[in-house]
Structure 1
């Protein structure tokens, strides 16, 4: 699996397709977050903006290989394992970018009533929750379920929107926790939401990998 992760990461870096979602994330956070605003509200936007970016990133990684190259790698390592490595690669870098963004936003925001440790732990867990939820959306809205680009993008956008507003969604729960905390200046790390998002993306990855092995 390590070799597959290196292979998928190398493909992503060389293709430069990661640049568009990264610029989108930087633009949203740069415009939406202002220095000196309450830290928990700023972290809420920082985490929420990561969800569509993670979904987009996963879609990029599972579709970046030419069919011939994908068949060769699948023959050597197994189609399911290859697909899983693409999913992991697409999830890892948004989570890393989100963690860095949380640290930067925490340093620039007003932390009155909230300690640095509480703000960082709350922000990182919220960012991971949104990244994992977005990765699940990306896994279910890409190949092998929706190979057609038009339908795939449509379902991805709708899935991201529903993940942010639907009751019961881990991302919605994390955002609600941050909004409530911003009103009372009390940080409540959304550990339960993060655990739920982890289970969700694990189920989506397992389903997607098995479907890839059978349908392709």
Structure 2
């Protein structure tokens, strides 16, 4: 799996298709995070942007490989492992972007009310929740479950929106808890949301990988 992850990472970097989602997310963070803002507010804002970023990046990763190369990789390592590596590459890229944004928020925002340690832990967990939720959206809206590009883009956009506004969504719950904590000065640790997001991402990834094994 390590070799497949390196292969998928190299494909993503060489394709330069990661530039658009990363630049869009960087602009989103630059506009919304300002020096002196409450750190929990800023961490929640940065984490919320990871949902569409993850969906976008995962969709890129699962469609990035040329068909012939994908067939060769699937023949050598199995379609499930190849597809799982693509999904994990998208998730890893999202977590990297989220870590950079959270680090910037911790550096420039006001964390006196909560303390930097508590804010960092809560921010890291909410970042993981949003990245996992967005990755689940990307897995369900990408190849092989949704083969038409237009349909996949619409599904990813709608799924990202619903993940941020629907009450049962772990991403919405985690971000809401973080922003509410900024009002009370308490950094809540969203462990339930983490568990739900992990289960959701695992289920979506499993469904996509099994579909890849059946359809190729």
| TM-score bin (small chain) | over 0.9
Q: Which residue of 2 aligns with 1:215?
A: 215
Q: Which residue of 1 aligns with 2:162?
A: 162
For the residues of structure 2 that align with 1:56 and 1:147, how far apart are their CA atoms?
15
Q: Which residue of 1 aligns with 2:86?
A: 86
For the residues of structure 2 that align with 1:154 and 1:173, how far apart are their CA atoms?
24
1:215, CA displacement in angstroms?
A: 1.7
For the residues of structure 2 that align with 1:72 and 1:107, how far apart are their CA atoms?
46
Q: How does 1:14-29 map to 2 (within 5 A)?
A: 14-29=14-29
For the residues of structure 2 that align with 1:152 and 1:198, how far apart are their CA atoms?
22
For the residues of structure 2 that align with 1:150 and 1:194, how far apart are their CA atoms?
31
Deviations 1:116-142 (A, max 9, x none): 000111111111100000000000001
1:194, CA displacement in angstroms?
A: 1.4
Q: How does 1:45-124 map to 2 (within 5 A)?
A: 45-124=45-124
For the residues of structure 2 that align with 1:196 and 1:173, how far apart are their CA atoms?
10
Gaps of 5+ in 1: none
Runs of 4+ with deviation above 6 angstroms = none
1:46, CA displacement in angstroms?
A: 0.6
Q: Which residue of 2 aligns with 1:34?
A: 34
The normalised TM-score by structure 2 is 0.98
Q: Which residue of 1 aligns with 2:145?
A: 145
Q: Which residue of 2 aligns with 1:173?
A: 173
Deviations 1:58-78 (A, max 9, x none): 000000011111111111111
For the residues of structure 1 that align with 2:147 and 2:15, how far apart are their CA atoms?
20
Which deviates more from structure 2 when the two are superposed, residues 94-103 or residues 13-22? 94-103
Gaps of 5+ in 2: none
For the residues of structure 2 that align with 1:11 and 1:149, how far apart are their CA atoms?
19
For the residues of structure 1 that align with 2:120 and 2:138, how far apart are their CA atoms?
26
1:206, CA displacement in angstroms?
A: 0.8
For the residues of structure 2 that align with 1:104 and 1:150, how far apart are their CA atoms?
34
For the residues of structure 1 that align with 2:112 and 2:79, how far apart are their CA atoms?
51
For the residues of structure 2 that align with 1:29 and 1:74, how far apart are their CA atoms?
37
Deviations 1:75-118 (A, max 9, x none): 11111110010000010111122112112101100112111000
Give the alignment's Cα RMSD to 1 decimal: 0.8
The normalised TM-score by structure 1 is 0.98
